[in-house]
C-alpha cells in the first residue's frame, strides 16, 4: 500500500518534470540573415516575441547610405532580385501604408543608414506574432521574410510605398534561445 502510493507520487512527479521541460511555444525567437542580390551578407536580424508584439533587432553592415524601406514580406523565400518574397505581409488584406488610413502588418518605419553603411536599430511590430497557428503569424505555411528596399517608403502608395528595388532579403527562421547572446536563460511562458 505504502509502496504503491510512493510509486504514484513518483509517477506524477515524472509527468510534471516532462511538462516543464517541454519547449515553451513553438518559436519565441527567430533570426534572419540579410543578403544582397550578389549573396553578400549585409545584416543580421533577431526577432523576439514580447507581450507587445515582435521586437526586431537589426544590425546592418555595409548597406548603401540613405533612407531605405524595411518590410516584412509574405513569403519566406529570398532569391535575387527577391520578387520571390512576394508582397508585403498582409493577413488583413488591407492597403499599404501607415499614412493611408490602413497599412499592412508588415509595414515598418524606414531605416536611415549613415555614411559608413552600418546601422543598429530595434523596431517593435505590434501587428505580427511568432506564435504558430495565429492569422498574423510570421510562421504561416509559406513563411515570411525581411526585405530592405533601395528607396524610402512614402507610407501611402499601394502596394509597396514606391520604395523601388529590393536590395536585401532574409528568410525569417525559428531560432533557439541559445543562439542569441542577450537572451535570458529561460523565457517565461507567454501569457494567454
Main-chain dihedrals φ then ψ at residue 43, nearest 5 degrees:
-175, 155
CB of 107 to Zn ion, least distance (A): 4
- Name the E strands within the chain: 29-36, 41-50, 53-60, 66-73, 107-113, 119-125, 145-149, 166-171, 173-174
Among 35, 104, 149, 166, binds Zn ion (CB under 5 A): 104
CB 89 within 8 A of CB 106: yes
Distance CA 184, CA 46 (A): 14
Q: How many CA atoms lie within 13 A of 33 on its CB side?
A: 5
Stretch that binds Zn ion, among 57-65, 101-109, 167-175, 180-188 (CB under 5 A): 101-109
Among 35, 68, 73, 96, binds Zn ion (CB under 5 A): 96
Q: CB burial class (10 A; 0-12, 13-18, 19+) of residue 140?
A: middle
Stretch that binds Zn ion, among 27-35, 52-60, 98-106, 122-130 (CB under 5 A): 98-106
Stretch that binds Zn ion, among 14-22, 76-84, 100-108, 138-146 (CB under 5 A): 100-108
Binding flag, residue 166, Zn ion (CB under 5 A): no
Q: Helix (H, G, I), strand (E, B), or coil: what is residue 11?
A: helix
CB 144 within 8 A of CB 73: yes
Binding flag, residue 149, Zn ion (CB under 5 A): no
Main-chain dihedrals φ then ψ at residue 14, nearest 5 degrees:
-65, -40
If the CB atoms of residues 27 and 147 are measured against Zn ion, the closer one turns out to be: 147
Stretch that binds Zn ion, among 54-62, 93-101, 117-125, 180-188 (CB under 5 A): 93-101
CB of 58 to Zn ion, least distance (A): 18
Among 68, 88, 149, 166, binds Zn ion (CB under 5 A): 88
CB of 68 to Zn ion, least distance (A): 14
If the CB atoms of residues 35 and 104 are measured against Zn ion, the closer one turns out to be: 104
Binding flag, residue 73, Zn ion (CB under 5 A): no
Q: Which residues bind Zn ion (CB under 5 A)?
A: 88, 96, 104, 107
Amino acid at each position: 500500500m505504502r509502496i504503491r502510493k510512493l510509486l504514484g507520487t513518483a509517477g506524477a512527479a515524472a509527468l510534471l518534470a516532462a511538462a516543464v521541460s517541454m519547449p515553451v511555444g513553438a518559436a519565441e525567437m527567430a533570426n534572419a540573415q540579410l543578403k544582397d542580390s550578389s549573396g553578400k551578407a549585409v545584416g543580421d536580424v533577431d526577432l523576439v516575441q514580447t507581450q507587445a508584439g515582435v521586437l526586431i533587432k537589426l544590425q546592418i553592415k555595409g548597406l548603401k547610405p540613405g533612407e531605405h524601406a524595411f518590410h516584412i514580406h509574405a513569403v519566406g523565400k529570398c532569391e535575387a532580385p527577391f520578387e520571390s518574397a512576394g508582397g508585403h505581409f498582409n493577413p488583413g488584406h488591407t492597403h499599404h501604408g501607415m499614412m493611408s488610413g490602413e497599412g499592412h502588418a508588415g509595414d515598418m518605419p524606414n531605416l536611415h543608414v549613415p555614411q559608413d553603411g552600418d546601422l543598429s536599430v530595434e523596431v517593435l511590430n505590434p501587428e505580427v506574432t511568432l506564435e504558430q497557428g495565429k492569422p498574423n503569424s510570421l510562421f504561416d505555411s509559406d513563411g515570411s521574410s525581411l526585405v530592405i528596399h533601395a528607396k524610402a517608403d512614402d507610407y501611402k502608395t499601394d502596394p509597396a510605398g514606391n520604395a523601388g528595388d529590393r536590395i536585401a532579403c532574409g528568410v525569417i527562421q525559428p531560432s533557439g534561445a541559445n543562439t542569441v547572446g542577450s537572451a535570458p536563460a529561460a523565457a517565461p511562458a507567454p501569457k494567454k
